[in-house]
Chains A and B, each alone.
Chain A
Amino acid sequence: MTKRHLDVVETYRTVPEDFVKHLIGTLVIVTAAVLLASLLFGVPEKPPLTIQSYAATHPLAFEQVALNALDGQGAIASYGPPYNHGSASVQTGLQQAVGVIHPLHANTAFVLKPLAMAAAINPSLRPALRAFNQASLAQQVRWEAAFGGALTKGTYQNGLVATPTANDGPLPALMNAMLQLGRSGLLSGALIRNPAIVTRFDNQNYLLFLQGTPLQTAPATQAMLGSNWGIIHPAVNGYPGAWWMTIPTWIYQWSFVANNAAADALALSIGFLFWMILALAPWIPGLNRLPRYLGVHRLIWKAFYREHENPAPGSDRKEPRHAS
């Protein structure tokens, strides 16, 4: 007998078992429970936040999103790898080392290319777009800064954003063209176009266009913010979410994690460490003997211990078998 067997009871009996009935039984139980829950509760689905609806309901904020994509201050414009060479969201050297594998330059992908397509069907847009594209970088930056200031005092009138006069060149016209493109629903198609193939499996640019202020401030997402225990909450109240992510979500709440510039890398790494402890429990001294001292096994095997520690007279009708 090797040492590892010392912790296991050496003798026990076997009893008749209908294993197929056992398996079919559990399958029937799960199937019935799932069908009943589906009939009673259906499936939770909350309509997504579309670019079109955001442009229609938040015209000023929409133009701000477009402006930030253009001037490089947006969440994606300044992100860094794997999208571009920014640095705002680079958490680790590993992220940097992976490099730009999903190229996304927000100014062209989110604004200038869609506007070029819009200009093809709306010639009145062409002079403004040409003026911007032909201006020096310094001029573009001055226009963007001026328009940013004017937009804070902007108002929404007759489907367009009106801003006070400023030295912002063609930007009021371009940003209103973006707004119209967004409201029309055509911007989504412009964002996910791929001239090389006809399928549209990659919706990266659509999702990332709204990833900053639009999604972060949407009332429907507030309960799902990372600071509010994020993913374990469903989008539709009353339904279960991904509750099995409770430990990683809890780690995100630790102040030294939450306030760290590399919060995601830190939280997921600590979460993985928790999993390693679980996975390697059989080989971790102390932890591998913990269940014996916790004593819960005595409840689980209550009948076994009752019989074997207090053998009733005449209960040894069957000869115990040796454990295999």
Chain B
Amino acid sequence: MSNWTTASRAMLRRILSLDTWLPTEMPEYAQGFMYMLGSLTASSFVVLVITGVLMAMNGPDTWSYNGAMRFTAATHFWAVQAFFFFMMLHLWRVFFTGAWRGGRGGTWLLGAIALLLAIPTAFTGFLINGDLYSQWNAVQAKDGLNALGLGWVNLTNAGQMFGMHVVVLPLTIAAVIGWHITRVRLKSVVPPYPVRKKRRAELK
């Protein structure tokens, strides 16, 4: 790569194109509910961000005692459930269709990283809620992190957990999901395994 600017222009021209983000056609095999699972996962993440911003604006103390914020906390809670539910279904779909084929291994890897990041993202959210579940899991899970030499992540420090849950982890996971989706749009979804030639031959 001799000229980085030229290469960046070429790459961004593809990434920022309307054809990448607003296609008017899709492959014939990418139809139906199985091809809604990724979008349902991403939609759950959008709902999580919106409800999470509302919660962050009002502060953790309001989540348990203010009626409107308690309802917002409920939507955040169920959106987490939806996020993991659709992500797991999406994971099964992409696994069973061997979605890494055709040079899509990086897309799979980014999805796996998003799954890994989603776990501490959800966990730190549970920790700052302040109920028995927070209390119990903070003291139980700290031993694992301490044992792995990750003691600087202090699960019993609500301030650090708030920062992790509201800024550090969501920004990181948003970047990974964004990269994942960009790759899906650029490379399109994986085509099916080849048609069985034998059966085609028999039919002829």
Chain A interface residues toward B at CB < 8 A: 4-10, 12-20, 22-23, 25-27, 29-31, 33-35, 37-38, 41-49, 81-82, 89, 91-92, 94-95, 97-98, 101-102, 199, 201-204, 207-208, 210-211, 215, 220-221, 224, 226, 230-231, 234-235, 240, 242-245, 262, 264-265, 267-269, 275, 278-283, 288-289, 291-292, 294, 296-297, 300-301, 303-305, 308-311, 323-324
Contact = CB atoms under 8 A, between A and B. Distances in A.
B93 interface: yes
A244 B120 CA distance: 11
B157 A204 contact: yes
A43 B73 contact: yes
Interface string B48-91: 00000000000000001000001101110111011010101000
Nearest to A28: B43
Contacts of A6: 194
B4 interface: no
A22 B35 CA distance: 10
Contact of B159 (A101, A199, A244, A275): A199
A265 B74 contact: no
Contacts of B129: 45
A220 B131 CA distance: 12
Given A12-B27, A226-B140, A242-B122, A7 B98 contact: yes
Contacts of B167: none
Greatest chain A CB density within 10 A among B40, B43, B159 is at B43
Ordered nearest first, which 6 A-B pairs have the shortest CB separation?
Answer: A201-B159, A282-B100, A94-B149, A82-B151, A279-B112, A91-B147
B154 interface: yes
Nearest to A276: B112
Given A19-B24, A30-B79, A305 B126 contact: no
Given A95-B148, A279-B113, A304-B28, 12 more contacts: A7-B98, A19-B26, A224-B133, A230-B140, A235-B133, A235-B136, A244-B122, A262-B147, A265-B144, A281-B108, A291-B97, A300-B97
A8 B140 contact: no
A89 B74 contact: no
B168 interface: no
Contacts of B103: 4-5
Contacts of B105: 282-283
Contact of B157 (A43, A201, A296): A201
9 contacts: A9-B195, A38-B71, A43-B73, A46-B131, A48-B130, A98-B149, A244-B84, A264-B143, A310-B203
B47 interface: yes
- For chain B, what secondary structure do more than half of its interface residues adopt (helix, strand, loop), or is it mixed? helix
Nearest to A50: B135
Nearest to A201: B159
Measured as residues with beta carbon below 8 angstroms from the partner, the interface class of chain B is 35 or more
B172 interface: no
A226 B168 CA distance: 28
Given A14-B25, A45-B131, A267 B136 contact: no
A234 B101 CA distance: 39
A22 B28 CA distance: 15
Nearest to B71: A38
Interface of B: 22-29, 31, 34, 36, 39-40, 42-44, 46-47, 64, 70-71, 73-75, 77-79, 81-82, 84, 86, 88, 93, 95-98, 100-105, 108-109, 112-113, 115-116, 118-119, 122-123, 126, 129-141, 143-144, 146-149, 151-152, 154, 156-160, 162, 188, 190-196, 199-200, 203
Nearest to B112: A279
Contact of A215 (B104, B139, B196): B139
A210 B134 CA distance: 13
B77 to A, nearest CB: 5
Nearest to A252: B144
Greatest chain A CB density within 10 A among B27, B119, B154, B162 is at B27
Contact of B190 (A8, A18, A31, A208): A8
Contacts of A269: 148
A265 B160 CA distance: 22
Contacts of A245: 119
Greatest chain A CB density within 10 A among B31, B96, B123 is at B96
A43 B118 CA distance: 20
Contacts of A242: 122-123, 126
B40 A231 contact: no
